[in-house]
Amino acid sequence: MAKTLTEPLAPGAVIGILGGGQLGRMAALAAARLGYRCHVYCPEPDAPAAQVTPLFTCAAYEDEEALAGFAEAVDLVTFEFENIPLGAATFLAPRVAQRPGPEVLRICQNRLREKDFCQSVKVPTTRYAEVNTPDGLARVVNDIGRPCVLKTAELGYDGKGQASIGPETDLDNAWRLMAGDRAEAPGIVEAFVDFTLEISVIVARGAGGGCQSYPVVENQHRMHILDQTIVPARVADKAAERAEAIARHLAEEIGLVGLLAIEMFVTAEDEVLVNELAPRPHNSGHWTLDACVTSQFEQFVRAIAGLPLGSTERHCDAVMKNLLGEDAGRWHEILSDPAAKLHLYGKTEARPGRKMGHVTKLVPRD
Ligand code: AMP
């Protein structure tokens, strides 16, 4: 039997966070403002989240003794990214309340299950099919047609484990890009979407079932990694309304308590197609830290702790830019711009493409 919380979490309680990245760090800082303490659990020493929390278990996600100790030490468990092994969440479920629950994690950590879920609740996605072997890839590509995109169904992020398949692409090469030298691997082939814009919506759903969403934002990627988020998205009202309605519908149907980010494509006909779900704070919501009454991180904490949700109203428009790798070395120059708000994640090694921080430029609303 999964443990549940019946009362709001009182200040002073301990929130356990699986995962130690920047999302956990910014969530822990928001939790501290509301009087909570956070306990981070992750295998990496000196993790960005652990740098700002008083309590830290540095152990593998498979270490049941450490997980049992963690469950004893916290009042509620959440996760800051969805690639946490499902086994850790199911091990914790009977021991300590978990929000969102393991079922949300199970759906959102696999692209096929995610798209099947969308279809099951009548939310449109691009056409897709499951693929597990190179032979299967040839059949599926034949069926879906080119151009299409091959993606790993699990553990993919920021374009890792993906291959675009154009008219001339050799399928063996595409398979190797996704699966390396494995002869079998869980994959998905998606029809290529000729989108005009990529957008996302972040919605919070509280323990009592009420939803609050943030405005629709526009996401621009470089090398498959989010480069900039522009607020608000330059999108037709009809598409924006549709995107918000989809976000709320998905949050309700999945039984969310927490935050859900939905990445979507907008086509030339203003059709909105869901690409990906993330049941946690999202990179495209970082601007809310500086431009909204309630940031996505505070909203996340409010939702999982059973508190009333906050206002998602924004004070101003914004452009958020990720600082990848060496970009973060510009910190001094960024700080000299009075309209720029700098956030660094405490990572020491500036590997190319690594998210080291972000900067939000505040733009007065007209
Ligand atoms: P993802 O990891 O699914 O978020 O994909 C990374 C990026 O690849 C997206 O933000 C899009 O720019 C692009 N992409 C992913 N799937 C498709 C698709 N089916 N059609 C066109 N572009 C895609």
pLDDT per position as a tens digit, 111-158: 999 999 999 999 999 999 999 999 999 999 999 999 999 999 998 766
Superfamily for domain range 195-363: ATP-grasp fold, B domain (3.30.470.20)
Cα distance between residue 137 and residue 332, in whole Å: 49
Q: Domain ranges for the chain, please list them.
A: 14-98, 127-191, 195-363
Q: What angle do CA 130, 19, 44 make, to 5 degrees?
A: 110
Atom of ligand 1 lying closest to residue 111 CA: 3
- Alpha helix segments (H runs only) across 228-348: 237-253, 288-291, 296-305, 331-335
Identify the CA nearest to 38 among candidates 305, 328, 335.
305
- pLDDT of 38 strictly over 90: yes
Identify the CA nearest to 204 among candidates 111, 103, 305, 83.
305
Identify the CA nearest to 177 among candidates 198, 193, 192, 156.
156
Phi, psi (degrees; rounded to nearest 5) at 271: -80, 145
DSSP letter string over 212-262?
Answer: EEPPPEEEEEETTEEEEEEES----HHHHHHHHHHHHHHHHHTT-SEEEEE
Mean pLDDT of the 230-238 span:
97
Q: Whose CA is nearest to atom 13 of ligand 1?
A: 224
What residues contact residue 79 under an 8 Å CB cut-off, 6+ apart? Answer: 17, 18, 19, 89, 105, 280
What's the whole-model pTM score? 0.97
Mean pLDDT of the 227-250 span:
98
State the amino acid at position 25 in one-letter form.
R
CA of 196 to the centre of ligand 1 (A): 12
Which of 126, 189, 224 is the best mutation target for the ligand 1 pocket, counting ligand atoms within 8 Å of the beta carbon and taking the most? 224
Atom of ligand 1 lying closest to residue 192 CA: 20
10 Å Cβ neighbour count for 123? 21
Ligand 1 pocket residue status of 222, Cβ below 6 Å: no
Mean pLDDT of the 44-58 span:
96
Report pLDDT for 121. 98
Give 170-221 pLDDT, tens digit per residue. 999 999 999 999 999 999 999 999 999 999 999 999 999 999 999 999 999 9
Report pLDDT for 158. 64
CA of 288 to the centre of ligand 1 (A): 24
Atom of ligand 1 lying closest to residue 126 CA: 19
Cα distance between residue 61 and residue 349, in whole Å: 23
Asked if residues 107 and 114 have their Cβ atoms less than 8 Å apart, the reply is yes
Cα distance between residue 70 and residue 73, in whole Å: 5
Q: Whose CA is nearest to atom 7 of ligand 1?
A: 224
Q: Of the given ranges (75-89, 156-170, 185-199, 226-240), which has the lowest mean pLDDT?
A: 156-170
Please report, for residues 142, 166, 167, the alpha-carbon distance to residue 177 in angstroms, rounded to integers and kept in the order given.
Answer: 19, 14, 17
Asked if residues 147 and 192 have their Cβ atoms less than 8 Å apart, the reply is yes
Grade residue 160 by pLDDT with cuts at 50, 70 and 90: confident
CA of 213 to the centre of ligand 1 (A): 23
Residue carrying structure tokens 């989809």: 246
CATH of domain 14-98: 3.40.50.20
- pLDDT of 295 strictly over 80: yes
Q: Which helix (H) or strand (E) holds 173?
A: helix 171-179
10 Å Cβ neighbour count for 51? 15
Report pLDDT for 2. 84
Residue carrying structure tokens 């001339």: 168
Ligand 1 pocket residue status of 275, Cβ below 6 Å: yes
DSSP-based three-state secondary structure for 211 = strand
Q: What is the token pair recorded at 267?
A: 């086509």
CA of 236 to the centre of ligand 1 (A): 21
Q: Whose CA is nearest to atom 2 of ligand 1?
A: 159
Asked if residues 189 and 144 have their Cβ atoms less than 8 Å apart, the reply is yes
User: How far does CA 147 lie from the centroid of its chain?
Assistant: 26
Which of 275, 283, 284 is the best mutation target for the ligand 1 pocket, counting ligand atoms within 8 Å of the beta carbon and taking the most? 275
DSSP-assigned letter for residue 193 = P
Cα distance between residue 357 and residue 359, in whole Å: 7
10 Å Cβ neighbour count for 287? 29
CA of 244 to the centre of ligand 1 (A): 20
CA of 366 to the centre of ligand 1 (A): 32
CA of 7 to the centre of ligand 1 (A): 40
- pLDDT of 36 strictly over 90: yes
10 Å Cβ neighbour count for 146? 14
Atom of ligand 1 lying closest to residue 275 CA: 3
Cα distance between residue 179 and residue 124, in whole Å: 27
- Dmax over CA atoms of the chain, in Å, equals 60
CATH fold for the domain made of 127-191: Dna Ligase; domain 1 (3.30.1490)
Asked if residues 100 and 76 have their Cβ atoms less than 8 Å apart, the reply is no
CA of 229 to the centre of ligand 1 (A): 16
CA of 233 to the centre of ligand 1 (A): 18
Ligand 1 pocket residue status of 126, Cβ below 6 Å: yes
